[in-house]
Structures are given as C-alpha cells and as structure tokens.
C-alpha cells in the first residue's frame, strides 16, 4: 500500500502547517532584527557601529535559518521517500523500491534474476482466522524470506500474499533458484503464528536477464508472473523458470479468447449430440450435448483447448447457457429421449443459475424430466454444504443430476450417498483398463453394484470395442456411450438416426411411425 496515497492528504497537511510555523520562526526573527535596526537608525537611536553588529547578527541568523530549513526539509523528504519505498506491514522494500533498485542494477550490466512468490492457501487463512492473523502470517513469512535470502539476495513484498526476491551478479539465477527451493522446503512445515500452526504453500515463477541483454525490471517481473501462473496450473507448490514458449502460449490463449467471444456473438458455435445406447434394448435412449467450434476459415478448435480458456476468462457461463438453450430447443421433439448437458463449476456456483435454468425450460418448452445436468466432483468437494443446497434447488425443477467422470477422482461411497445422483457415468479410463486388468474389472463391477444399491443408473463412457461393450453389459451398466455406436453428430443427423430407429421399432411392434420433426439448425 502506498502511504502517499492513503493518509497522504493528512500527512501533507500536517507537514504544510509545520513548515509554515518553522518558516515564520526561522525567517521572522532575523527580519524583525533588521527592521528594528532600520527604525533605530532613522530615529537616531543607535550608533553606526552598533548597527553594523546588528546587521551582521541578522545576516548570520538569516543564513543559519536558511541552512536549518534546507536541512530539515531534506530530512523530511528522505523520510517520506523511505515510507514510499517500504511496505508498512513487513518493513520490507515494496514494488516501487524493486523497480527503482533494479533500474540501477540494469545499468551495471550484470546478471539479474527475479523470483515472484505467490502464497498458496493464504485466502483460507484470512477466511478462517481473520485478517489480523492473516497479517501476522504475512509478517512471519517475510521474516523467513529475509532469513533465507541472507546477503545473497534481497526480499520485497509486492502486496497481499505476493513477494519477490532479486539476486544480482555472477550465477544470480543459480543462487535465486537455491533460495526458492529452500523456501518451498521451509513451507513443507507449518508456520507458527500466535501458537497456531498455519499451513501454506507457494507457487514460484523465476526469470532472469543475462549480462548485456538489457531486460527491464518490469518485463522481468512480468515474465516471473507468467511463470508463477504456469507453476500454479501445474499443481502449485513448485517453482518454474520462464521460457519464451510461455509468451507464445499466452498470445495463442488471447487470440482464442477473442475469437471465441466473436464466435459466441455470431453464433458460430455448434452443438453435436452423441447417443447413449440402452444396454437391454440396444436403442438410443438418451444423448449428450457436446460443444463444437469450427471457425469461418474451416479450422476446428477442440473443446479441450477452448473450454479451459473460457473457464479462465469467465466466458464459460455465457457459453454454458447458450448450449443449454440450444440443446433444449433441438431436443424438444425427440420424444422419449433424454438430453444430458454439461454444466460448469462457475455456473453451479452462480446463485442465479437455477433461475436461468427455469427461464430456459419455460422459454423452450422442454420437459424438465428429460433434462440431465452433468457435473464433475470438482464443484462438490470444494464446499459440500453449498453444493448440496444448490443441487436440491436444481432438482426442484425436476431435472436429473449426473456425476461425470466417475473413477478419476476422490468420490467415495459416503460421497455418493450424500449427493444421491440420478446417474453415474464411468470414466473411459476405467473401461479401457478393465479390458486388460482383472482388478480394475472388479472395481468397475463393484462401482456399478454400489450405484445400483443407491438407486442410480450407470452409463459406461468411451466404448470403442465389442469387448468393452461386453464388459459394461456384464457389469450391469444401463447405458453405453462411445464411438463403437456413434460419434457426436449434428442435430439433423441424429434426427435421421432416431427416425430410422422409430421405423424399425414400428415394424417390430406393428405400430404407426411417430414422425421426428426436422428442424433448421440456427
């Protein structure tokens, strides 16, 4: 926090008052003496010798006053400059000091290395213990940092839970990396703050400028910040050196983000549907809505690339609502076919989502009992109480809740009992491994039995071979989904599949064919 911007007005006012009084005293006295001397001379009340003495005394006092004023002003300015360059909580140099000092070091043409440290889990400390303990935790970490830096490097607090370390000179990068590794090792044990054991981690990004390459401190700090983001994305609790690929990735990231926003505005996105096959009848009983993006130049961008970007930028909520609305419109006349739509964590955490869901169901006329919302356990494990309440609000509309990717996370029997999903989808990896491993087959069969006991249907995802299909049927799965049966296809293609299925069913049962309404894809 910059002391000149917070409380700076009061400080400046106080300084102005102090300076004005000092000026009055320091310059007023000599001036009064000179005036008195002139008056005395005019009235003949003093000799010329005495006037000379008084004049000399006045000049001396005047010079002394000027020197004293300049000295005090210089001291005051130095004090304010120090305050402006120092973090008030930790008494460490701040971001402004880092840039000022690094600018001087850049001119020395020596190797310069910067590490940016972002504390993992600090928000939980503030939320659980309060900001007072949070501040003490920051101070405790600052002391650790100063101790580990010693005389080899200099520590800074940039604000909040962000710190920096700067090393300069030969092998600066090696020295800095060694310090950062000791920081991570130190944080492996809790910090003791007022008899409390506070557990923290750190994500650390490092960047360096070799002698003669002239990188500014602001650019080095930016590179370290990028590397910190990469460290967090790779699992936190680690250090990562910046490399040029990170900038290329971010440029691509930004380009995709801008193109994705334009595609959403122009409705260039598409929803395809992958059939779910009933294990008993072999017919399509449900479909999963899957988002697809083909740019005007014909280039296809995979969801594994653009969905994470949409989640990071916050665009995922708008995209999620668009997919939900489109799926409900497309599937309204697919009688007897349920539709599964993936719902993001951001949507589920949005208190307005139940209202948005209700509006879409009313607007499209889609029956709520035919809609299934697929979610992953990421949303559930963060705050189970809030998650449980939100799911019940969604169930009040009559929709089904499906747990996707089961077998890849931490979901336990207690977890499944608590949330009572309508359906469980076994992850493709479980199906693939079960084909060649008896232990995995046992796990898969046990998972299906457990889900059945809790009243859940089970879908096997990623079925690509007859062997996998046979394993899923023998394990007791209700539905199968995968390329063995069909890839995700546009709504018009799916309608043709459903029409053929209805015709075949009508021939078998000697029933009139129920037409499937063909709709235009907008």
> How buried is 291 (Cβ within 10 angstroms: 0-12 exposed, 13-18 middle, 19+ buried)?
buried
Going residue by residue through the chain (522 aa), what tens digit of pLDDT does each one get? 343 334 445 445 544 544 455 555 555 656 666 666 666 555 555 555 655 666 666 666 666 666 666 666 656 566 555 657 788 888 899 888 888 887 665 556 678 899 999 999 998 898 888 989 999 999 999 999 999 999 999 999 998 899 999 999 888 999 999 999 999 999 999 999 988 899 999 999 999 987 766 567 788 889 999 999 999 888 888 999 999 888 888 888 889 999 999 999 988 899 999 999 999 999 999 999 999 999 888 889 999 999 999 998 899 999 999 999 999 999 999 988 999 999 998 998 888 999 999 999 999 999 999 999 999 887 787 777 888 888 999 999 999 999 998 887 666 677 788 888 999 999 999 899 988 888 989 989 999 999 999 999 999 999 999 999 999 999 999 999 999 999 999 999 999 999 988 887 777 665 555 555 555 444
Chain-centroid distance of CA 24 in Å reads 57
CATH code, residues 95-242: 3.30.70.270
How far apart CA 36 and CA 363 sit, in angstroms, is 94
Its sign, for the CA torsion 137, 140, 146, 147, is negative
CATH code, residues 272-509: 3.20.20.450
How many residues in total does the chain contain? 522
Vertex 42, ends 36 and 43: CA angle to 5°?
90
Q: Is the pTM of this model over 0.85?
A: no
Q: What are the Cα distances from residue 23, in Å, to 35, 58, 220, 509?
A: 17, 15, 46, 107
How far apart CA 467 and CA 446 sit, in angstroms, is 19
Structure tokens at 308: 């994470």
Q: Which among 471, 403, 404, 375 has a CA at the least distance from the CA of 431?
A: 471
Question: φ, ψ for residue 329 (rounded to 5)?
Answer: -70, -45
Structure tokens at 99: 């840039």
How far apart CA 463 and CA 101 sit, in angstroms, is 61
Find where tokens 């120092």 sit.
86
Q: What are the boundaries of each domain within the chain?
A: 8-84, 95-242, 272-509
How far apart CA 513 and CA 302 sit, in angstroms, is 38
């Amino acid at each position: 926090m910059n002391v000149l911007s917070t409380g700076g007005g009061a400080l400046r006012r106080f300084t102005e008052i102090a300076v004005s009084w000092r000026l009055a005293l320091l310059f007023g006295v000599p001036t009064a003496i000179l005036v008195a001397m002139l008056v005395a001379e005019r009235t003949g009340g003093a000799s010329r010798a005495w006037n000379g003495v008084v004049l000399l005394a006045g000049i001396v006092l005047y010079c002394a006053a000027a020197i004293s004023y300049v000295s005090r002003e210089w001291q005051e300015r130095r004090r304010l400059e120090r305050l402006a360059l120092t973090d008030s909580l930790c008494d460490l140099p701040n971001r402004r000091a880092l840039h000022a000092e690094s600018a001087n070091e850049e001119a020395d043409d020596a190797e310069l290395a910067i590490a940016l440290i972002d504390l993992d889990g600090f928000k939980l400390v503030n939320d659980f213990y309060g900001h007072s303990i949070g501040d003490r935790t920051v101070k405790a970490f600052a002391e650790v940092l100063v101790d580990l830096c010693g005389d080899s490097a200099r520590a800074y607090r940039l604000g909040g839970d962000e710190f920096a370390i700067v090393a300069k000179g030969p092998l600066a990068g090696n020295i800095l990396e060694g310090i950062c590794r000791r920081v991570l090792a130190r944080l492996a044990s809790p910090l003791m703050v007022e008899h409390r054991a506070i557990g923290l981690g750190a994500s650390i990004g490092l960047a360096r400028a070799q002698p003669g390459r002239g990188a500014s401190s602001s650019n080095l700090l930016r590179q370290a910040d990028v590397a910190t983001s990469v460290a967090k994305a790779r699992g936190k609790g680690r250090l990562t050196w910046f490399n040029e690929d990170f900038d290329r990735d971010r440029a691509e990231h930004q380009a995709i983000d801008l193109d994705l926003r334009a595609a959403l505005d122009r409705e260039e996105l598409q929803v395809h549907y992958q059939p779910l096959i009933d294990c008993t009848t072999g017919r399509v009983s449900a479909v999963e809505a899957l988002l697809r993006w083909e740019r005007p130049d014909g280039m296809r961008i995979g969801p594994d690339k653009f969905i994470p970007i949409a989640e990071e930028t916050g665009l995922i909520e708008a995209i999620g609502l668009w997919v939900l609305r489109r799926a409900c419109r497309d599937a309204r006349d697919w009688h007897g076919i349920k539709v599964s739509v993936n719902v993001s964590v951001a949507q589920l955490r949005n208190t307005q989502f139940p209202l948005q869901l209700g509006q879409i169901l009313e607007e499209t006329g889609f029956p709520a009992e035919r809609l299934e919302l697929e979610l992953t356990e990421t949303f559930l494990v963060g705050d189970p109480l809030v998650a449980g309440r939100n799911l019940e609000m969604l169930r009040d509309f009559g929709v089904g809740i499906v747990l996707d990717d089961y077998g890849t996370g931490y979901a336990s029997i207690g977890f499944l009992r608590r949330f009572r999903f309508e359906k469980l989808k076994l992850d493709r990896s479980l199906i693939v491994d079960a084909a060649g491993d008896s232990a995995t087959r046992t796990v898969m069969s046990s998972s299906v039995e457990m889900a059945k006991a809790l009243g859940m249907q089970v879908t096997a995802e990623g079925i690509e071979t007859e062997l996998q299909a046979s394993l899923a049927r023998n394990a007791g799965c209700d539905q199968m989904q995968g390329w063995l049966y069909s890839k995700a296809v546009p709504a018009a293609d799916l309608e043709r599949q459903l029409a053929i299925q209805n015709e075949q069913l009508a021939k078998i049962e000697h029933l009139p064919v129920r037409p499937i309404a063909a709709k235009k894809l907008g």
